Chains A and B, each alone.
Chain A
Amino acid sequence: MLFTSFTFVVFLVAFFCVYWLVSSPLKLQNLIVFAASYLFYGWWDWRFLSLIFASTLVDYFVGIMIYRTPNVGRKRRYLWISVIFNLCLLGFFKYFNFFIDSSIHVLSTLGFHPNIHTLNIILPVGISFYTFQTISYSLDIYKNKFKPTTDFIAFGAFVSFFPQLVAGPIERASNLLPQFLNKRKFDFDKATDGCRQILWGFVKKMLIADSIAPYVNDIFTNYQSYSSGTLLIGVFLFSFQIYGDFSGYSDIAIGVAKLFGFELKMNFNYPYFSKNIGDFWKRWHISLSSWLNDYVFTPLAVEFRHFGKNGLYGALLLTFLLSGLWHGAGWNFIFWGGLHGLFYIPLIYGKKRFKSIASNKKLQSKKYVSWRDLPSILITFILVNFTYIFFRSKDLTTAFDFIRNMIFNISNSTKNAEIYNHKIVFIFIGIFILLEWIGRDEPFALQYVKRISNHYLRWTIYCFLIFILGVFITTTETPFIYFQF
C-alpha cells in the first residue's frame, strides 16, 4: 500500500476513526495499531508477514532473556541469537544472489567454473528497516540502556508501526516503545502539524521526485548518447529526485504518526545545506547514520582506539562500506559508501581534536548555515553529487563508463534529452530550494508558514499547494526509491 495511492487514503481515514473511537483500554488500541500495520504490510505480499512476525517474536523473548540473566556470557549468547537471526533474514532475502554472483565471478577469474545457480528471491519490502530496528532493541538491552517490555502487543505494534515500517525512520525502542506503553490523547495542534508535514511530504514526492524521475531515467539509461552537460544535469536532477523521494516519505511517515499522537525522530535536516561530508551525514537519513554511529562505528572505534587516528580511519571506512552494502546488494553501492568514507577522512586528519563532525545530535543553533557558507555548501553538494553516479548506475562498470562519457563527451550529443522539452522542472527545483532555504530552521520547510499571522494567507498557500499537486499529479503510482532497500 503506497502512501500516494487511493487505497492508503481510505485505509488512513478508516484507521483514524477506529483508532480514536477505541482510545481505551490502551491494550485494545495497541492491538488495533498492530492489526492495521499487518494489514498495511500484507497489502504488498501477505507471505512476508511471517518474517516480520518471526523477527518480533525472537527479539521479544531475547530482550527479556538478556535482561533476566545475570550471567554476562549468557547475555552475549542471547544477543547473538537476535543478531544472527535478523542478519540471516536480511542476508538471505537481500544478499544471497549478490554473494553467489560475486563468488562465481571470483572463482571464474581464478579459472574455476562452478555450476552454482542463483535463486529467484523476492526482496520483502522494508526488511532492512525493521530488522535494524529489532536488532537495536536487543543491543540496547544488552548494553543496559533499556529495559525490555513484557507487553507483546505493544512490542509488536512498535516493530510493525505502519507509518515507518517500510522505509523508516528507523526508530529506537527508547523513543517509540514508551509511546505505546502510555495513553495517547488526541491533540488538535499536533494533528494539524501532522497534516502540514504530510502535505509537504507529498509536494516533495509528487511535485519534485516524480516529476524529475522520467528525465533521470532517460539520461542514465541513454548516457552514451548524451553530452557531458546533459549527464551533469542528469546527476543534479537525481540528487533532487532521491532527496524529494526519501525525505518526502519520511515527512509523510512522521506526519501520519502525529495524527495518532506519536512523535517519530527527524530523519532529514536540510542535507543539501551541509558544510562538509560530516555535516551531511548529520542531516541525511539521520536515523540510519545514528544507528550506524551507535552500533557499528563507536564499537569499532572503541576496539581500535589504541591505533590513534588510523584506528578511527579504519572504523570510519568499515562503517561507510557497510552503509553502502545496506543500501543495496551491489558493488556500486559499496563503492558509493567507500567514497563517502574517503571524503570524510580529511575532516579527522585536519583536526588536532576531533571536533564535532560525527555527532548525530540535532543541530539547534539558529541560522546554522548562512550565505557566507555558500562555497563550502557548494563543494559538499558537488562531492555528494559525484557519489550519486555510483548510487544511481545499475552497476560499477556502468558508473565508470558514465564518468568517462561525462569527461570526454563534451559536445557529441547524438540525441536531444527529454528534459530540454520540460524546463518547468528546473523552475520547480529552484522554488523548492528557495523554500527549503527560508524554512531551514524549522523541522520541515512548510512549517515556516505557521509564522504567517494572516489566517487567509496561510490557507491560500495550503490550497495552492494542493491545487498544484492535483494539476501535476502523474496518473501512474511511482514507488518510493528506498522501498528497494
Chain B
Amino acid sequence: MILDELTNIFRDVFEDDDIHIENTSTSDDFDEWDSLNHIYLVVEIEKYFKIKFSSREILQWNNVGDMVKSIENLIVK
C-alpha cells in the first residue's frame, strides 16, 4: 500500500518513528514539514518509487492524498 510506504519515507525524512500520516494530512500537521523538508521529501519519494513528478503537480499538492494520487498515476504508467 502506497500510504504505508510513504509513512516509512516520512519517518525517515523527519527522523521520527512515531509519525502517522493519512490522506488528509497536510504540512500544518507537522512542525518539521517546511519548504526545505518538503523538497527533501519529494526527492526521497522519487528515488524510492523510481518516478519523476512534474514541477506543476508538486506545486498543486494540498495534502498527502494528492501525493498518493500522483505516485499511483506514475507507477501505473
Contact = CB atoms under 8 A, between A and B. Distances in A.
Contacts of A303: 55
Interface in A249-293: 293
Nearest to B13: A353
B47 to A, nearest CB: 10
Interface string B6-25: 00000001110000000000
Interface in B22-36: 28, 31-32, 34-36
Interface of A: 72, 143-145, 293-294, 297-299, 301-303, 305-306, 312, 348, 353-361
Question: Which of A72, A299, A302, A303 has the most chain B CB atoms inside 10 A of its CB?
Answer: A302
Contact of A305 (B13, B32, B39, B56): B39
Interface residues of B, number: 21
B2 interface: no
Contact of A353 (B40, B55, B58, B59): B40
B45 to A, nearest CB: 11
Given A144-B62, A301-B35, A356-B32, 13 more contacts: A145-B60, A145-B62, A298-B38, A302-B39, A305-B42, A312-B36, A312-B39, A353-B13, A353-B14, A353-B15, A354-B34, A359-B31, A360-B34
A361 B34 contact: yes
A215 B17 CA distance: 55
Contacts of A361: 28, 31, 34
B37 to A, nearest CB: 6
Contact of A357 (B28, B34, B39, B62): B34
A301 B28 CA distance: 20
A360 B28 CA distance: 10
A145 B39 CA distance: 19
A353 B34 CA distance: 12
B36 A357 contact: yes
Nearest to B58: A302
B35 A297 contact: yes
A348 B43 CA distance: 16
A308 to B, nearest CB: 8
Contact of A356 (B13, B34, B42, B55): B34
B43 A305 contact: yes
Contacts of B39: 298, 301-302, 305, 312, 354
B35 A293 contact: yes
B35 A143 contact: no
Contacts, number: 62
Contacts of A299: 55, 59
Contacts of A360: 34-35
A293 B35 CA distance: 7
Contacts of A353: 13-15, 37, 40
Question: Which of B34, B40, B55, B62 has the most chain A CB atoms inside 10 A of its CB?
Answer: B34
A481 to B, nearest CB: 28
A169 to B, nearest CB: 19
A73 to B, nearest CB: 11
Contacts of B42: 302, 305
Contacts of A143: 59-60
A297 to B, nearest CB: 6
Given A144-B60, A312-B39, A355-B37, A302 B55 contact: yes
Nearest to B15: A353
Which 9 A-B pairs have CB atoms at the shortest separation, nearest pair first?
A359-B34, A354-B36, A356-B34, A301-B39, A358-B36, A302-B55, A358-B35, A298-B35, A302-B58
A303 B56 CA distance: 10
A302 B53 CA distance: 10
A71 to B, nearest CB: 14
A143 B42 CA distance: 17
A312 B39 CA distance: 9
Nearest to A316: B36
B50 to A, nearest CB: 14
Contacts of A144: 60, 62
A145 B62 CA distance: 7
A355 B36 CA distance: 8
B58 A355 contact: no
A356 B58 contact: no
A296 to B, nearest CB: 11
A347 to B, nearest CB: 9
Contact of B36 (A72, A145, A294, A348): A348
A351 to B, nearest CB: 9
B34 to A, nearest CB: 4
B65 to A, nearest CB: 13
B63 to A, nearest CB: 11
Contacts of B36: 301, 312, 348, 354, 356-358
Given A299-B55, A303-B55, A353-B15, A359 B35 contact: yes
Nearest to A139: B59
7 contacts: A302-B55, A302-B59, A303-B55, A312-B36, A353-B13, A357-B36, A361-B34
Nearest to A282: B34
Nearest to A356: B34
